[in-house]
Amino acid sequence: MKTLLALLRAARPSRARVAASVALGATSVLSGVGLIAFAGYLISRAAERPPVLSLGVIIVAVRCFGLARPVSRYFERLTSHDLAFRVLAGLRVSFFARLEPLVPARLEGYRRGDLLTRMVGDVDALQNLFLRGLTPPLVALLAGGVSVAVCAAYLPLAALVLAGGLLAGGVVVPTVAAYAGRRSGARQASARAELTVELVELLRGAPELVVLGADRAALERVAALDAELTRLARAEALATGLVEGLAVAVAGLTVAGVLAVCIAATAAGALDRVLVATLALLAMASFEAVAPLPSAALRLQTTLDSGRRLLALADREPAVTDPAAAAALPAGSQLTLDGVGFAYGDDENWELSGLDLYLAPGQRVALVGPSGAGKSTIAALLVRFLDPDAGRLTLAGRDLRALRQRDVRSRVTLDSQDAYLFSTTIRENVRLARPGASDDEIERALAQARVWEWVRSLPEGLDTFVGEEGAAVSGGERRRIALARTFLAGAPVIVLDEPTGHLDPETAEALIGDALSAADTRSVVLITHRPEGLDLVDHVLTLRRGRIVDMRAVRRPPAVRLPAPV
């Protein structure tokens, strides 16, 4: 329930729209009830052979309900879908605003595409909660209530039977369904996850497994997991069958009960005989109000799990927050690390410790070392994705923690190997770094990254689509487009975190050379575990287990030493 309320708050559906959707839904159900009940009344009344004219009003009512039913149902479907899309948009905005400050430091594991995809899938799943979980119960309450009330006006006992039946169909059966869903849902989810992992591995590594002769064993594992999942799915099929059957049986039994009560009342003279068919048919049709509830309840658990996962994420504290009273950023781009230490979580092991570094404007430093030495953590510290646990970093003499993140990142730009290209045009991907940039400036940035010739040769030039759904762009070209974006940002300090990851050595060497020559007077921190480009920087620092163990000058001593920060 707490989850439900929290999610409701996150989605903020407009009350008027929910009300409209519920009203239309109830109208649709009640038109169906009205149509069949009045038709029954018409036939019963006609059987008494009254003058035809006296049936006129009833005939009009039957026709009206007959028209109102498809019309209200059509608009109900439109309104509820419209509501669902609005809720989805609201949820996306709301979760985005809460998750955005957590990236990347607090969602480190979420860099991997599949986890992110799941998160996005979770947000999408939540719209079901509202489409199936919010309006249908309200519709059931309203339409069911009206049906029972009408019934009560003629025969309270029949109303009681109907109310009992609707409660069984609208509360008891869905509860059974929710219970069945909870039990099988969790077990199926883990069986599915295991099988997915095994399948991914097998699809990805099939040739290796075959060559190693390990394919048979892998097949057997998949078959065993598949058998388990199939067993669970078949067990669930029985559960849903049970729920479905219960719903049908409850409706049928209630109609029989109402009919019996009505017949007894007629025999006792308490009910006009014309109303027997009317009330029984009304009862029959009113079950449409509760029909969608069991299947909604069956899925409730899965949806709530999605919600819980998201809320747990959204409740994390950002790793870095802007200071209440941010200092103005003075001119200058010299960076210092002063006894910087960093540890992930409560870990006793320091990822970085006692790090001292001075980066003068225009200076180029390479950080090398084996993976796990803490290189990328330094990159994250430099752009203030993380704050140090010991010591301090300063930019132009100011402690980074006293500055707004926005100000830090306008002067220090990070380009990492997993810099992302969005599913849009090359122009938009580059322009991202500076939204006001003109085509000329974008061209210049692409030229600096030595990729403009290639872009120009494309049939659609800057308008070529890249990214997930875009045209095939080689790894080298992708990296260069990302580099152009970094140049366009115009920050005086550039941090290149493994810019040549996933590239072959020839491409890597060319890329690094071009990047460093285009960086011109900017300061560069090149983080790499590969040899390319190490001859093009001023200093190479070797990092091992969070400490600088070696430092050597390569090409030239810094031409000009700027005065130290005050």
Partner 1 sequence: MRTLDPRLLRIARGARSALAADVALGLLAAVALLAQATLFAYAVAQAFAGRGLGAVAGALVALAALAVARGLLAGAFEATGRRAAARIMSSLRLELVRRRTHDAPTAVDGAESGEVATAAVQGVDALETYFARYLPQLVLAVLVPLAVLGWTVAIDPVSALIMALTLPLIPVFMWLIGRYTERRTRARWNALARLSNHFLDVMRGLTTLRSFNRGEAQTERIAAVGEEYRRTTMQTLRVAFVSGAVLDLAATLATALVAVTLGLRLVDGGVTLRAALTVLLLTPELYVPLRALALQFHASADGLAAAERILDLIEAPGAPPAGEAATPLAWQTLRLDDVGLANPGRPGQVLDGVDFELRRGEICALVGRSGAGKTTVAALLLGLRRPDTGHVTVDGVDLAGFDAATWRRQVSWVPQRPTLFHGSVAYNIALGSDGLSAAQIEQAARLAGADGFVRELPHGYDTTIGEGGRSLSAGETRRIALARALVRDAPLLILDEPTADLDAESAEVVTAAIGEAREGRAVLVIEHRPALARLADRVVRLRDGKTVTETVRADAAETRPTVGASGEPPVPAAAVGHASAPVIAPGAAPA
Which of 26, 65, 144, 181 is the binder for partner 1 (CB under 8 A)? Answer: 65
565 burial (CB, 10 Å; 0-12 / 13-18 / 19+) is middle
Q: Give me the least distance between CB of 334 and partner 1, in Å please.
A: 8
3-state DSSP call for residue 334? coil
Which is closer to partner 1, CB of 247 or CB of 426? 247
Note whether 547 binds partner 1 by CB under 8 A.
no
What's the min distance (Å) between Cβ of 453 and partner 1?
Answer: 19
Q: Identify the residue among 74, 175, 190, 330 touching partner 1 (CB under 8 A).
A: 74
Considering only CA atoms, which of 301, 292, 300, 307 is closest in space to residue 11? Answer: 307
Q: How far is the CB of 162 from partner 1 (least distance, A)?
A: 15
Query: Residues 342, 385, 452, 487: which binds partner 1 (CB under 8 A)?
Result: 385
Residues 272-311 that bind partner 1 (CB under 8 A): 273, 276-277, 280-281
Three-state secondary structure readout of 197-250 = HHHHHHHHHHHHHHHHCCHHHHHHHHHHHHHHHHHHHHHHHHHHHHHHHHHHHH
Q: Which is nearer to partner 1, 371 or 457 (CB)?
A: 371
Of 226, 245, 227, which Cα lies nearest the Cα of 294? 245
Question: Which residues in the 185-224 window bind partner 1 by CB under 8 A?
Answer: 192, 195-215, 218-219, 222-223
Prior bond of 557 cis (ω within 30°): no
**Residue 57 found at the interface with partner 1 (CB under 8 A):** no
Residues 131-190 that bind partner 1 (CB under 8 A): none
Stretch of 34-42, 153-161, 174-182, 304-312 contacting partner 1, by CB under 8 A:
34-42
Span near partner 1 by CB under 8 A; candidates 154-162, 368-376, 450-458, 515-523: 368-376
Of 160 and 235, CB closest to partner 1: 235
Sole binder of partner 1 in the list 506, 517, 520, 549 (CB under 8 A):
506
Q: What secondary structure does DSSP assign to 348-406, as a single string?
A: SS-SEEEEEEEE-TT-EEEEE--TTSSHHHHHHHHTTSS--SEEEEEETTEEGGGS-HH
Q: Give the gyration radius of the chain's Cα atoms.
A: 34
Angle of helix 15-46 relative to helix 56-99, nearest 10 degrees, comes to 160
List all residues 6 or more positions away from 250 whose beta carbon is below 8 Å from its beta carbon.
165, 168, 169, 172, 173
- The residue from 78, 186, 224, 549 that contacts partner 1 (CB under 8 A) is 78
Q: Binder to partner 1 among 357, 511, 519, 527 (CB under 8 A)? A: 357
E strands in 32-97: none
Q: Shortest distance, CB of residue 368 to partner 1, whole angstroms?
A: 8
Cβ distance to partner 1 smaller for residue 48 or 440: 48
Distance CA 277, CA 268 (A): 16
Q: Quick one: which of 286, 301, 303, 416 contacts partner 1 (CB under 8 A)?
A: 416
In the numeric block, the tokens 């600088």 are attached to 548
Per DSSP, the three-state class of 544 is strand
The total of other beta-carbon atoms located within 10 Å of residue 436's CB is 6
Among 6, 23, 77, 514, binds partner 1 (CB under 8 A): 77
Task: In angstroms, give the least distance from the CB of 452 to partner 1.
Answer: 20
Distance CA 296, CA 75 (A): 21
Nearer to partner 1, 141 or 198 (CB): 198
Distance from C-alpha of 376 to C-alpha of 174, rounded to nearest angstrom: 51
Q: Is 552 an interacting residue with respect to partner 1 (CB under 8 A)?
A: yes
User: Quick one: which of 12, 14, 96, 549 contacts partner 1 (CB under 8 A)?
Assistant: 96
Nearer to partner 1, 140 or 259 (CB): 259
Amino acid in position 300: L
- Alpha carbons 244 and 175: distance in angstroms, whole number: 13
Residues 229-268 that bind partner 1 (CB under 8 A): 229-230, 233-234, 236-238, 240-253, 255-256, 259-260, 262-264, 266-267
- CA separation, residue 187 to residues 118, 124, 129 (Å): 18, 22, 21
Please tell me the distance from the alpha carbon of residue 27 to that of residue 498, in angstroms, as a whole number: 62
Q: What are phi and psi of 392, to 5 degrees?
A: -150, 160
| Residue 410 contacts partner 1 per CB under 8 A | yes
Site string for partner 1, 327-346 (x = CB under 8 A): ---------x-x--------
- Window 507 to 546, contacts with partner 1 (CB under 8 A): 509, 529-531, 534-535, 538-539
Of 228 and 389, which CB lies nearer to partner 1 in the complex structure?
228
Q: Give least dist CB 138 to partner 1, A.
A: 21
